[in-house]
Amino acid sequence: MQQDQLQNLLALLADGDYHSGSELGELLGVSRTAVWKHLQKLAELGVELDSSRGRGYRLPGGLELLSAESINARLAKGGPPLTLEVLPLVDSTNSRLMAAADRLPVGAVCIAEQQSAGRGRRGRTWVSPFARNLYFSVLWRFDGGAAELEGLSLAVGVCIADALESLGLSGVTLKWPNDVLADNKKLAGILLEMSGDPAGACHLVVGVGINVEMSQASAAEIDQPWVDVASLAQRQGLAQISRNELCACVLTKLAALLSQYSAQGFAHWRERWMARAAFLGEPVKLLTATQETHGTFIGVDNSGALRLASATGEQLIYGGEVSLRSSS
């Protein structure tokens, strides 16, 4: 099934009403048998379908599909230009941009309804149910290599927290180096990947995954506490937050961040990160593949390095395959 056919079928079903096979076939210009095959494809993607004899097919509760047109209309005017691509299915939004980084413009954005091979830090799989969360990546170019990007993942976290708060959510915190939390549960994650000269001109892809409306069934594979935007909004008495609006809000803030980061560095963002820091002043443990270090988390420095007070004095942790956990 072609991607445009999948998008057209989903658009017809997104209203949550019943549509007969003959109606869908007529609107899509295909036979009822072809419609049935297309519906089977949707089921394989994990889309919840309801069928009723004599009434047809529907998506219970409807579905807000992501739209480049809708997101573009919500982007802040006058900001750095972004070029959006919205796909129903991709292996990984990061991988898609990295593979074509030499040919794509600065500000290229890949957004997907679902990823078949989404990735988090430390080799984790990013669970990606169809059309329920946000998965997107942004391509940028820098001339100063890795040194110019110190602390950037933390600043990206500030942008995501700012976007969520601007839409009414409260209680969002940031866990070093690149997790967004609420109620000490994971709400969003960040994955930065770089190619090119580590000391010079390079491409950077910033990948973002935000749990928006995650079902318990979809989350069965997640191996850590999690929370989603929908449940937070409900508990805080807020209306349902549009995925298109949230995506546009985060992208607006990310584009501004990336266009200014070479000049500003993390020092410009440090206090805003610290104001939301999870586990600040608390006993923590840092886990690597071979070591466990205990101490008190006392913040980050102007490069984004974690400051750990331990029995041997203050240590600075600069990243890598490190996991921060509360030990209280």
Residue numbers annotated as active site: 121, 186, 325
- Determine what percent of the chain falls in helix, strand and coil, rounding each to the nearest 5: 35, 25, 40
From the annotation, which residues make up the binding site? 92-94, 115, 119-121, 186
Instruction: Measure CA 284 to chain center.
Output: 26
Structure token digits, residue 312:
């041997």
From the annotation, which residues make up the binding site for biotin? 92-94, 115, 119-121, 186
Whether the upstream peptide bond of residue 177 has omega within 30° of 0, thus cis, is: yes
β-bridge partners, 202 = 142, 196
CA 40 – CA 91 distance, rounded (Å): 20
Contact between 286 and 248 under an 8 Å Cβ cutoff? The reply is no
Angle formed at CA 289 by CA 286 and CA 293, multiple of 5 degrees: 25
Structure token digits, residue 318:
């600069």
Instruction: Measure CA 23 to chain center.
Output: 36
Structure token digits, residue 48:
């919840």
How crowded is the C-beta side of 270, counted as CA atoms within 13 Å?
A: 15
- Helix/strand/coil (H, E, C) string of 100-122? CCCCCCCCEEEEECCECCCECHH
Contact between 239 and 230 under an 8 Å Cβ cutoff? The reply is no
Alpha helices in the chain (DSSP H): 3-13, 21-28, 32-44, 68-74, 93-99, 152-166, 229-235, 243-264, 270-274
